[in-house]
Amino acid sequence: MKIDGKTVLVCDCGATMALDGARLAADLGADEAATVHHALCRSGIAAFEQAVADGGPVLVGCTQEAALFSEVAAEKGGDAALGFVDLRERAGWGEAGEDAAPKIAALIAEAAVPVPPVPAVTLNSGGVTLIYGRDETALEVARQLAGRLEVTVLLDRPDAVMPPRVREAAIFRGTVARASGHFGAFALVVDGWAPARASSRTTLEFKPGRDGVELRFDLILDLTGGTPLLRAPEARDGYFNPDPGNPAAVQKALFDLVDLVGAFDKPRYVDYDPAICVHGRSRKIGCSRCLDACPTAAVSADGDQVAFDTAVCAGCGQCASVCPTGAATYALPAPKVVYARLAALLGRYREAGGQAPVLLVHDTESGADLIAAIGRYGRGLPANLLPFALNTVTQLGLDFLLAALAHGVARVVVLSRPRDRDARFALDAQIEIANAVTAGLGAGAGHIAVIDDTDPDRVAARLWEWAAAAEAEGSAFPAGGFLAMGGKRDRMRLALQNLHDHAPVPVDRLALPAGAPFGAVAVATEGCTLCLACVGACPTGALIANPDKPQLGFREQACVQCGLCRNTCPESVIALEPRLDFTAAAREARVLHEEEPFPCIRCGKPFGVRSMIEKMAERLSDHSMFAGDGQALDRIRMCDTCCVAAEFDTPNPLAGPPRPRPRTSDDYLRDDD
């Protein structure tokens, strides 16, 4: 069977799940019925070999034997692109397997979406390793690693540590004051740095120490058991901090360390477009969402923009999740691929007769393992629950959540890990905003939820409850011709308009939680002087100046609530108002404040704002340069041309007496007469 130019091979895995080849072909729009193999990885391997020999991409409905299929393809010398999709644990195995035909078709359609490769960052490690500890454990670990890595031991405030019989690594005493860098290039500043004396007899003795010693290492094994040297240690490649009291954890770290020598490629997780970044303007800071969300400090301020350290970035995607403009986008894969997969999954599910879909978003590691356990040992997944794998669930942003609802999803369930609970605040904030939108539109606030449990039975029970509720209630927003297009702002606006069009209560305006990327600005007009500093600071053009008269305009649809206008305003009269305006007024410019122009008191030409000129004159009236000088104050009320003219008309109080006329020969001759 072929779909979209790909050969699709399916197997019922020894008749352990129900597959109807004719219906599957009809659901997928294929011209011929699918051949349902019973043991594709064993007795049916010839069919796979033939598909590879024919050329063209091949999609296999099995992930368990992916390594075997890849090996067979390599042996046959074929260059066919291989793809794999799990149809057993995610659909065919379980109580709902008999009713999972629409879901199986949807999973195959999603897997058939082409995914281009992601650019990589190359990191190099020579195996230069620091073992940072406090006792003999560090020395024993150094002995085990000395033959494979270039090891240095640093003991933090050691107490009666017995010297090794044979010194196989350099030993020092010291305390790490600062640590930075990344795998292959860690930089440390150590205080109290002192080498061990070779003459140490019963306990290690050290030479006099010195502070501020700078060191560099490729790898770090932290056995101090204290506060980690780096933020988000579990996400820092090349940095290990196992519990020194857990020998199994220490040995696992050693196994991992010895393999980290050479050149390694890691994905470039985030793409950054500085042209639409709203971090700052003219050294005023507005949006700092990505800096606040990054757990590894891979994002740093860089003037009016931000900089991404691709070597430090751990790929959590929280920066892309909270970015209001899409300047930071997650690239594994790119958003257009994610939305193409989502549209293929949900579109094919409905075309195949599926109803009330529940979208289960999970990561490709722990989430996939949990789903596999439910499929193998529990009830399996409900027939209307559609798994959707991402590299990490924390990459989810408001645009994805709104788009899923606009596609007609009854529920969005995010499968997270309990250990990520503290690092999930960015995702939780996005879910809060999305739920506020659905609640404000009369559909309730329970359409998006998070499960952070690791027990398969408890997770399965909650999934079945939600799936049953979705079947009973249906989707609050029916699927209707929604298509995610453009950048992040465009996708959010399209999804919001779709939700509003199908809402139970389509209100015109809707209040949102603080931090939402939509809203208005409120100006206290009594204090505004129309200096228009806010217009110059606004990076999206939401605030507009009128070139013909003193006027401040605003177009709400362009506002991302970055706060630059508020932080730039010299009078502190601007406030943010997070909200959604679904009316046409949001797309049109409206006047926030305007005043009469001030006419020049000399020529009558309008040249400024009346309130600003009067406030300047009032504030300067007591200044030493203006006090008691009405003419100086009058020049403030003149246009630039008249101000210069008046300056020359006014007698100069510092001028001396008139210069005497030079005497000439004629003057002397007249005197003689």
What sign has the CA pseudo-torsion 584, 589, 594, 597?
negative
Q: Note whether 399 and 413 are same-domain residues.
A: yes
User: Tokens 């404040």 label which residue?
Assistant: 593
Q: Note whether 48 and 159 are same-domain residues.
A: no
Buried b (16+ CB within 10 A) or exposed e, 502-513: bbeeeeeebebe
Number of domains in the chain: 6
Confidence of residue 650 (pLDDT cuts 50, 70, 90): low
How far is it, in rounded angstroms, from Cα 67 to Cα 27?
Answer: 29
Q: Note whether 233 and 254 are same-domain residues.
A: yes
Q: Note whether 430 and 452 are same-domain residues.
A: yes
How far is it, in rounded angstroms, from Cα 531 to Cα 535?
Answer: 9
Last residue of a domain, one of 264, 290, 312: 264
Q: Kindly report, residue by residue over 202-235, the tens digit of the pLDDT.
A: 999 999 999 999 999 999 999 999 999 999 999 9
Q: Which among 117, 149, 171, 138 is positioned nearest to 238, based on CA atoms?
A: 149
Q: Note whether 585 and 467 are same-domain residues.
A: no
**213 belongs to a structural domain:** yes
Q: Which among 412, 413, 404 is positioned nearest to 347, based on CA atoms?
A: 404
CATH code of the domain in which 586 resides: 3.30.70.3270
CATH code of the domain in which 322 resides: 3.30.70.20
How far is it, in rounded angstroms, from Cα 229 to Cα 215?
Answer: 14
Q: Note whether 140 and 247 are same-domain residues.
A: yes
Question: What pLDDT is stored for residue 617 in this prediction?
Answer: 83
Q: Note whether 282 and 174 are same-domain residues.
A: no
Q: Note whether 415 and 539 are same-domain residues.
A: no
In total, the chain counts a number of residues equal to: 673
Q: What are φ and ψ of residue 7, in 5° steps?
A: -85, 125
Q: Note whether 352 and 292 are same-domain residues.
A: no
**103 belongs to a structural domain:** no
How far is it, in rounded angstroms, from Cα 318 to Cα 307?
Answer: 15
**118 belongs to a structural domain:** no
Buried b (16+ CB within 10 A) or exposed e, 551-579: bbbbbbebbbbbbbbbbbbebebbebebb
Quick one: which H or E segment has residue 499? helix 488-501
Buried b (16+ CB within 10 A) or exposed e, 25-58: bebbebeeebebbeebbeebbeebbebbeeeebb
Q: Regarding beta strands 128-133 and 150-155, do their DSSP bridges make them parallel or antiparallel, or are they unpaired?
A: parallel
Q: Note whether 251 and 131 are same-domain residues.
A: yes
Q: Kindly report, residue by residue over 356-405, the tens digit of the pLDDT.
A: 999 999 999 999 999 999 999 999 999 999 999 999 999 999 999 999 99
Averaged pLDDT of the chain: 93
Q: Kindly report, residue by residue over 415-468, the tens digit of the pLDDT.
A: 998 888 878 889 999 999 999 999 999 999 889 999 999 999 999 999 999 999
Q: Note whether 578 and 558 are same-domain residues.
A: yes
pTM listed for this prediction: 0.89
Confidence of residue 55 (pLDDT cuts 50, 70, 90): confident
Q: Note whether 339 and 487 are same-domain residues.
A: yes
Domain range for residue 37? 2-84
**192 belongs to a structural domain:** yes
